[in-house]
Every structure is written in structure tokens, then in C-alpha cells.
């Protein structure tokens, strides 16, 4: 069995400069997924509002967005944002981007991951909006609130708490999906683990460590979110773990 002949060398995890690279990779994973998530929530709310709108053309737009982004692989979408999207812009804008956005891959990753995650978040928000009794909308309109105010003060605060558990799952999916940004050259955790292998031939140790990093972060987020869910729960509704 080969496993006994393999010389493990865990020191690649903290040796100079690999240890520093790993930490940088983990930080990149974190801020990449948080930025993508913020974008996803903003786009997701708008798409969900279109999906439940009374006007047919609005619903069509919202449904189209969700269908397109959910039925193509995220990897194709990232390649599109990275390779193809800049070519669709005017020449002058392309040149400006080339000069002024040195880490374009990172921003393509944020936009690509955000736009994709938005299609999933939108479905969660839609479920949340539909879970609210229609009387809430009618009552809000009857008191003279505009549609924007209705969403801002009545619907979203309520819907948000209803879908918080699903939100945790979606954020963790977004967090895991951020590893795909390596394919366009972003130096996040997975890419760093692979990159160190090309210098040391000890990819088994680095990918094992990266797995533990993803798992620990996922556990920390999971535990703190269920604490938050318990604090924010709406009286009379079922909470996870109660």
C-alpha cells in the first residue's frame, strides 16, 4: 500500500512563504464570498419582487433571470464574466479597465458569484414573500404606505426572519462556490492549496488542510446563525432546534 510509503511533510503549511500564502488565501475566500453575498442579496430581493409582481411582464423578467442563472453551470458564468463580458464593452472602457482594475479576475469573481447566488436567493425571498398573508400587503396599502414602504417596513423585515434558516444554507453554498473563482486565477484557499503543490509536491497535505479550513468556517457560521435564528424568531413560529 502506497500510503505507507508516502512521506508526509505537514511543515509545508507553515513554512515561509507557504504559511503566509495560505492565510492570504483564506482571507480572500472570506471577503470574496461576503462581497458576492451582499451583491446576491440586493439583486435577489429585486428579482423576487419581480417574481411576485402583479404585472405579467415583470414576472416574466424575474422568472427568466432565475431560469438562465440556475440552468447554466457557475463555471460557464464565471468564464463569461471574465473572458467575454469585457469584450462587449466599448473599446475606451476596455482600455480604462485594463489600466485601472489590476485585479479584474477578483471583481469578475465577485460579480459572477453574486449574480449566480442572486438567482438562488431570489427563490428564497420569493418563498418568504409568499409565506406572508396577503392581508399584510392590503393592510399596509390601506394605511397609505407606498409599495416601496410596504416592502421596506412591513414585508422584508417579516420575510427576512422567515427565511433566515434558508439564508444560512445559501450563504454556505456561496462560501463553498467561491472556490470556483480559482479557475479564473483568483488566489483563494483552494487555489493556494493547489499552487503550493506545484512547488512542494505536497498537495495532499495542503488540500487536507484546506478541507479542514472550509469545514471549520462552515461550522462556526452554522452555529452562530442558529443562535441568531433563536434570538430573532417570530413568536408562534417553529424554530430549528427547539
Partner 1 sequence: MDLSVIFKNAPFMLGGLILSFQLAAITIIAGLILGIVLASARLSSKSVFYYPATIYIHFFRGLPLILVIFWLYFLAPVILGTSVNEFTAAALAFVVFEAAYFAEIVRSGIQAVPFGQVMAAHSTGLSPLQTARFVVIPQALRNMVPALVTQSVVVFQDTSLGYVIGLREFLRRVNLTDAREARSVELYLFAGLVYFSICSLGSRASRRLEKRRFEAD
Regarding 90 and contact with partner 1 (CB under 8 A), the answer is no
Taking 3-state DSSP, the helix, strand and coil percentages for the chain, each rounded to the nearest 5, stand at: 80, 0, 20
DSSP string, 18-56: HHHHHHHHHHHHHHHHHHHHHHHHHHHHHHHHHHT-SSH
Q: Which is nearer to partner 1, 42 or 219 (CB)?
A: 219
Number of residues that bind partner 1 (CB under 8 A): 44
Q: Which is nearer to partner 1, 83 or 153 (CB)?
A: 83
Q: Which is nearer to partner 1, 76 or 227 (CB)?
A: 76
Regarding 72 and contact with partner 1 (CB under 8 A), the answer is yes
Regarding 79 and contact with partner 1 (CB under 8 A), the answer is yes
Comparing C-alpha atoms, which of 10, 13, 11 is closest to residue 193? 13
Regarding 68 and contact with partner 1 (CB under 8 A), the answer is yes
Regarding 241 and contact with partner 1 (CB under 8 A), the answer is no
Least distance to partner 1, CB of residue 192, Å: 11
56-70 vs 104-130: helix axis angle to the nearest 10? Answer: 130
Q: Which is nearer to partner 1, 108 or 159 (CB)?
A: 108
Residue 94 cell numbers, joined: 476596455
Distances, alpha carbon 19 to alpha carbons 26, 39, 193, 200, 214, in Å: 11, 31, 10, 13, 16
Regarding 142 and contact with partner 1 (CB under 8 A), the answer is no
Mask for 191-220, x = binds partner 1 (CB under 8 A): --xx--x-----xx--xx-xx--xx--xx-
Distances, alpha carbon 97 to alpha carbons 82, 92, 100, in Å: 12, 9, 5
- Enumerate binding residues for partner 1 (CB under 8 A): 1-3, 5-6, 67-68, 70-77, 79-80, 83-84, 87-88, 172, 176-180, 182-183, 189-190, 193-194, 197, 203-204, 207-208, 210-211, 214-215, 218-219
Amino acid at each position: 500500500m502506497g500510503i505507507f510509503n508516502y512521506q508526509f511533510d505537514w511543515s509545508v503549511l507553515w513554512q515561509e512563504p507557504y504559511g503566509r500564502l495560505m492565510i492570504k488565501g483564506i482571507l480572500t475566500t472570506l471577503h470574496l464570498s461576503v462581497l458576492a453575498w451582499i451583491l446576491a442579496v440586493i439583486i435577489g430581493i429585486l428579482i423576487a419582487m419581480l417574481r411576485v409582481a402583479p404585472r405579467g411582464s415583470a414576472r416574466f423578467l424575474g422568472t427568466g433571470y432565475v431560469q438562465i442563472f440556475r440552468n447554466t453551470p457557475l463555471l460557464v458564468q464565471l468564464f463569461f464574466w471574465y473572458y467575454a463580458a469585457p469584450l462587449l464593452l466599448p473599446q475606451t472602457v476596455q482600455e480604462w479597465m485594463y489600466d485601472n482594475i489590476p485585479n479584474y479576475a477578483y471583481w469578475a469573481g465577485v460579480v459572477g458569484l453574486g449574480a449566480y447566488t442572486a438567482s438562488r436567493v431570489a427563490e428564497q425571498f420569493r418563498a418568504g414573500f409568499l409565506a406572508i398573508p396577503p392581508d399584510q400587503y392590503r393592510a399596509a396599502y390601506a394605511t397609505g404606505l407606498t409599495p416601496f414602504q410596504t416592502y421596506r417596513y412591513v414585508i422584508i423585515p417579516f420575510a427576512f426572519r422567515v427565511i433566515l434558516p434558508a439564508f444560512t444554507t445559501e450563504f454556505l453554498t456561496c462560501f463553498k462556490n467561491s472556490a470556483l473563482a480559482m479557475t479564473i486565477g483568483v488566489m483563494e484557499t483552494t487555489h493556494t492549496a493547489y499552487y503550493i503543490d506545484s512547488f512542494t509536491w505536497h498537495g495532499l497535505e495542503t488540500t487536507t488542510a484546506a478541507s479542514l479550513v472550509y469545514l471549520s468556517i462552515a461550522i462556526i457560521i452554522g452555529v452562530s446563525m442558529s443562535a441568531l435564528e433563536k434570538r430573532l424568531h417570530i413568536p408562534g413560529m417553529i424554530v430549528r432546534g427547539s
